[in-house]
Amino acid sequence: MTGDTGGPVSLRQIAPDLLLIEVAGRRMLTQAECPHRRGRLRYGYLNGRTLRITCPLHHSTFDLLTGRQVAGPPCGSLRVTLLPEDAASPRSAAEAAEWAAEWAERAEGLRPEAGAP
Ligand code: FES
């Protein structure tokens, strides 16, 4: 993962299928795999200025506030949920798994459906 200017950025894989992204004072959960052909977004390019992430495989780019695809081969939106400012961050791997499960449940439809392309 690489970042751009616009303030501190971080990207953590907190579950096999979820990323926690912190950028420009905002935190969001996203699916870990690109909706195009399952590129691993943790190795993508995170732009802290435009709040976008670009897949390392075929360069689809997604708006991190809406999940909308803004460039690349047509594949639909990235599933994203913005976290409230008061949502605590996980402090350990075990806590991260529990935390991710709770947030994925709250963010209906965040996780890809089984068997989805
Ligand atoms: S897998 Fe991400 S753009 Fe193709």
What CATH number is associated with residue 14? Answer: 2.102.10.10
DSSP character at residue 94: H
Q: Is residue 75 part of a domain?
A: yes
Strands (DSSP E) found in the chain: 2-3, 9-15, 18-23, 26-31, 45-47, 52-54, 61-63, 69-71, 80-82
Number of domains in the chain: 1
Residue nearest to atom 4 of ligand 1 (CA): 58
Atom of ligand 1 nearest to the CA of 39: 1
Residue 15: CA count within 13 A, CB half-sphere:
19
Work out the average pLDDT over 19-47.
93
Q: Is residue 115 part of a domain?
A: no
Give the residue numbers spanning the domain of 25.
9-110
57, 62, 70, best to mutate for ligand 1 pocket (most atoms within 8 Å of CB): 57
Q: Is residue 3 part of a domain?
A: no
Q: Is residue 1 part of a domain?
A: no
Between the CA of 2 and the centroid of ligand 1 the distance, in Å, is 17
Q: Is residue 4 part of a domain?
A: no
Lowest mean pLDDT among 2-6, 24-28, 30-34, 113-117: 113-117
Atom of ligand 1 nearest to the CA of 73: 3
Q: Is residue 52 part of a domain?
A: yes
Q: In this structure, which amino acid lies at residue 39?
A: G
- Report the candidate in 28, 30, 31, 23 with the shortest Cα–Cα distance to residue 4: 23
Residue ranges lining ligand 1, Cβ < 6 Å: 34, 36-39, 55, 57-58, 60, 72-73
The Cα 89–Cα 76 span in angstroms is 29
User: 15 or 94, which is more confident?
Assistant: 15
Identify the band that residue 111 occupies on the pLDDT scale cut at 50, 70 and 90.
low
